[in-house]
Structure formats: structure tokens, C-alpha cells
Amino acid sequence: MADANKRNIPIKLGDFSIIDTEFSSIRERFDAEMRKMEEEMNKFRHELMSREANFFETSSSTKKTTTKTSSSSAQNSLSRPAPRQNYISDISSPLIQEDGDSKMLKLRFDVSQYAPEEIVVKTVDQKLMVHAKHEEKSDTKSVYREYNREFLLPKGVNPESIRSSLSKDGVLTVEAPLPAITAGETMIPIAHK
């Protein structure tokens, strides 16, 4: 493995508490998530009801003419695809947060059982690696703990832009700006044989 692809990321010690900052507004975030789920359920309910209404309107109006037309019309309304929405754009990940016009990858690791000097954050190629090791030895006991996490970074993430911070309650936060996605057309050539 070449050392050119390996980079240690410094850990900034913070005098903040993740518990205080993240969970102070938990009720508002919970309510917002509940509203979002209720909106999704209402959309689903509305789509289901309109499909059902269209099915019965189509089948009852065509039943008056012939049975064959009725069954094919009912089949068509059942097999008709739902209006295609861009569900990909609606997906929100707890790992990705919007920061104005840009998006930020944000990862959290509970390393509260380790001292700051026992924690190492580094990148190797496109992998983010968090490693912590604790050893205690005395005449009567021996304690050994190790923490390893690997995360494959999305393409285009610059390892030089990754920042990490450690809260006073032992939560390591690693942040990296995500590259902007170009939404242009790409022509794909067709191979002729």
C-alpha cells in the first residue's frame, strides 16, 4: 500500500457536548419527522383512493357494453403504472446534511471509552478508517479494548477536506463536503455489431 494514498486526519478536541447540542431540539425534530410521515401516508392514501375510483369508474362504464371490454379496461387500469415521481430526490440520509447549496457527509462514532490520544482517524484510498485502542495492565488485571470502523467514501470526496472533532462526551464527528452532482445529459454511444 502506497503512503501517498494514506492520510492521518487530525482530531480537534471540542468543549461541546453532542448530547446537549443534538438532543436539545429532539422534540421539534420528532414532530417534523412525524409530519413528514403523515404527509407521505396522505399522498399514498390519495393515490390509492384515486386508483380505486378510476378502476370502478372504468369497469362499471365498460360493463354496460361488453364483458370482454370490461375485463380489458379493468386490466389496463390495474396495470397502468403509478405517476412516476423522483423518489431518489426525496430520500434523506442521516449521514448527509445540507449546508446551504452544498451537501456534507457527517459521520458519528461513539469512542467515549477511549482517551483522545488513543483514537486515530485516517483515510486509505477511498476508505475512512477510525481506530481506537485502550490497554491497561496492573498486577491484578488486564484490560484491552479496540474499536475499528471503516467507511467507503463516496466518489469525488477529497480526503484533504475531511475534518474530525471529538466532543467532551466522547462522540467523534467526521465531516466531509460532498462533490456537487452535475445534472447534465450524458450521451451513451450504441455499439453496432
Enumerate the known binding-site residues.
Answer: 134, 136
Distance CA 172, CA 165 (A): 6
- Residues 173, 102 contacting (CB under 8 angstroms): no
- Binding-site members for Zn(2+) are 134, 136
Distance CA 91, CA 93 (A): 7
Beta bridge partners of 177: 104
Distance CA 182, CA 180 (A): 6
Sheet holding 163-166, edge to edge: 11-13, 163-166, 171-177, 102-110, 96-99
Distance CA 147, CA 150 (A): 10
Of 170, 181, 174, which Cα lies nearest the Cα of 145? 170
